[in-house]
Amino acid sequence: MKRLIEIIKNIWKIEDLRKRILYTIGIILIYRLGAYIVLPGVDPSQLSNLQQQGTEGLLGLLNMFSGGAFSNASIFALGIMPYITASIVVQLLGLAIPYFQKLQKEGESGRNKLNQITRWLTIVVTAFQAPAYLVNLRSQLPAEAIYPFIAGGSPSTFFTISSIIILISGTLFIMWLGERITDKGIGNGISLIIMIGIIARLPFALFGEFVSRMEQQGGGLVFFIIELAALVFVILLCILLVQGTRRIPVQYAKRMVGNKQYGGTRQYIPIKVNAAGVMPIIFAQAIMFLPMTIAGFASSDTISSWAGSFLNMYGFWYNLVFFLMIVFFTYFYTAITINPKQMAEDIKKNGGFIPGVKPGKKTSEFIDNIISRITLPGSIFLGIVAILPALVAQAGITGEFSQFYGGTSLLILVGVVLDTLHQIESHLLMRHYDGLMKSGRIKGRSGAFGGI
C-alpha cells in the first residue's frame, strides 16, 4: 500500500503525465455520457426487450464493445466497430492493391492519406450498419416506443434518415475522441475506448452471475468463488500470452573507434510469441459481425438462415470459423508488422551477427523461421482463448459473464491495461523515478492497434 501511494505521488509530480491522465479521464467521461443519450424519438422507458437482447449472443458482445450503448438505443449505439472494420479493409487492400502498398511506404504523408481513406470508409460501413440497427430496433420495441411512428406501425422517413445521420455522427465522434486520447492523452485511444466499454459491463455481468448462483439449484457461494478463481487463472494465461517472448542471441564483434573499443558483447532480440497482440481477434470479430448486417437486409429465407447460423456465438460453426480466422489473421498481422529482412539488415549494419548463422539473407531466413515456429502455437493458443466463452457457457455460466472468460473482451482488457501501464512506467523511468513493479519492467504490446 505504501509503494502504491508513492507511485501515485510520483505520477502526480510529473506535470506532462498528470495532464495526459486527466485529459484521458475527461475524454472517457464524455464517451460514457454519450452512451446514455438515447436517439431522438425513442422512449427510453420502453427499452426492456432491447436490453434483454443485449445480454447474450453476438449482440451481447456488440453491446459490450459499445459499453451498453447498443441496448440503450444510444447515439453511440454502433460504437467504434465500424471504424475497426474500415481499418481492417484498408490494411487488407495494402496486400493486394499497389496504390495502397505505395502509401504504406511513403512514411507520414502516406499514413495520413490512409487514415483519411479509413475515415471515409468508416462512414460507408456505418451507413450500411445503421439501417440494420434501426430494423432491429423496430423489431424489439413496441410501436408506441418510437414517437414519430404513424398509425399502423410504419416509421416516419424523418426518423429513419435523422437516426442514420446521428448514428454515423456518433461513430465518427467516438473515432475523434480516440484520436484525441492517442495524441494528447495516455495509451492508444481506440484501444482504451473499447476497454472502457468492456469494463462498464463487468459489474452487471458479475452481479448477474452472483444472483444466478444464489438461486435454488444455482450451486451457491462456493461455486461462485470457484468461477472467480478460474477467471483469475485465465487472466494469468492471457498475461502470459501477451508478454511471452523468444530471445534471439546477437553477437557484436569488437571494433575500435579512435582509442575506444565498441562491441564484443552479446545481446538478445525479443520476439513475441504473440507479436500481433489482440489485432487478430479484433479483425476476426469485426468480420463475424457482417452476417448480422446481412441478416438485417436479407429478404431471402435461405440467406437469413445462413447468416443466422453465424449469429450464435455459442454454436459450432461460429466458433470453428472464428478460430480459423484468428489463426489466419495472427500470421497475417505478424507478417505486416515484423520484417525479418529489415531486422537482418539492422543487425549487419551495427556489426552484429547471430552465432552460427551467416549475415544477410541467411540471417533473414533464420529469423523468419523462428517467427513462423513461435507464431503457430501462439495463434492456436489465441484461438482457444477466444472461443473459451462458448466452452464455459456449457457449464451453466450466464452468457454475459462467460464473455469475460477469455474471448475478445478479456484479451483486449489485459492487453490494453498492460500497454497503458507500460507507457506510464516509461514516463516514470524517463524522469528517474522507480517503475510500477519491483520485479521488473512491464512489457507493453507496442501499440496493439497499430494504425487503428
Could you tell me if residue 331 is inside a domain?
yes
Going by their DSSP bridges, the two strands 245-252 and 255-257 should be labelled as unpaired
Vertex 259: Cα angle to 257 and 263 (nearest 5):
50
Burial class of residue 257 (count of CB atoms within 10 Å of its CB; 0-12, 13-18, 19+): exposed
Domain count, the chain: 1
Of 282, 364, 363, 376, nearest in space to 334 by CA: 376
Hey, what amino acid is at 95?
Answer: L
Of 344, 351, 359, 345, nearest in space to 252 by CA: 351
In this prediction, residue 449 carries a pLDDT of: 45
Q: What is the pLDDT of residues 101-137, one digit of tens each?
A: 788 777 778 888 888 999 999 999 999 889 888 888 8
Q: Is 272 helix (H, G, I), strand (E, B) or coil?
A: strand
Quickly state the pLDDT bin for 441 (edges 50, 70, 90).
Answer: low
Quickly state the pLDDT bin for 164 (edges 50, 70, 90).
Answer: very high
In this prediction, residue 30 carries a pLDDT of: 93
Residues facing residue 74 across a β-bridge: 38
In this prediction, residue 185 carries a pLDDT of: 86
List C-alpha distances in Å: 434 to 16, 426, 430: 17, 10, 10
pTM of the model as a whole: 0.74
Give, to the nearest 10 degrees, the angle between helix 407-430 and helix 220-243.
60
Check pLDDT > 50 for residue 447: no
Alpha helices in 45-97 (DSSP H): 48-53, 57-65, 81-96
User: Are 242 and 445 a contacting pair, CB within 8 Å?
Assistant: yes
**Over the chain, what is the mean pLDDT?**
78
Quickly state the pLDDT bin for 374 (edges 50, 70, 90).
Answer: confident
**Segments forming the whole domain that contains residue 274:** 2-430
Q: Which of 52-56, 160-164, 233-237 has the lowest mean pLDDT?
A: 52-56
Q: What is the pLDDT of residues 278-323, one digit of tens each?
A: 778 777 877 777 766 666 555 555 555 666 666 667 778 788 888 8
Of 67, 397, 390, 419, nearest in space to 239 by CA: 419
Could you tell me if residue 237 is inside a domain?
yes
Residue 153 or 66, more confident: 66
Residue 76 CB neighbour total at 10 angstroms:
29
Residue 293 or 49, more confident: 49
Grid coordinates given for 252? 557484436
Q: What is the pLDDT of residues 320-333, one digit of tens each?
A: 888 898 888 888 88
Rounded to whole angstroms, the Cα distance separating 110 from 107 reads 5
Could you tell me if residue 450 is inside a domain?
no
Check pLDDT > 50 for residue 188: yes
In this prediction, residue 150 carries a pLDDT of: 45
Could you tell me if residue 196 is inside a domain?
yes
CA 196 to chain centre: 11
Going by their DSSP bridges, the two strands 245-252 and 266-272 should be labelled as antiparallel
Looking up residue 345, the CATH number of its domain turns out to be 1.10.3370.10
Q: Is 14 helix (H, G, I), strand (E, B) or coil?
A: coil
Quickly state the pLDDT bin for 258 (edges 50, 70, 90).
Answer: low
Hey, what amino acid is at 212?
Answer: S
Could you tell me if residue 263 is inside a domain?
yes
Rounded to whole angstroms, the Cα distance separating 383 from 198 reads 20
Q: What is the pLDDT of residues 394-411, one digit of tens each?
A: 777 776 777 777 666 777
Q: What is the pLDDT of residues 238-251, one digit of tens each?
A: 777 777 777 777 77
Could you tell me if residue 444 is inside a domain?
no
In this prediction, residue 120 carries a pLDDT of: 92
Grid coordinates given for 116? 483519411
Could you tell me if residue 439 is inside a domain?
no
In this prediction, residue 148 carries a pLDDT of: 55
Mean pLDDT for 256-277 is 68
Grid coordinates given for 251? 553477437
Residue 448 or 64, more confident: 64
In this prediction, residue 11 carries a pLDDT of: 76
Percent of the chain clearing pLDDT 90 (strictly above): 9
Quickly state the pLDDT bin for 440 (edges 50, 70, 90).
Answer: low
Percent of the chain clearing pLDDT 70 (strictly above): 80
Could you tell me if residue 452 is inside a domain?
no
Vertex 315: Cα angle to 311 and 321 (nearest 5):
80
Rounded to whole angstroms, the Cα distance separating 87 from 125 reads 11
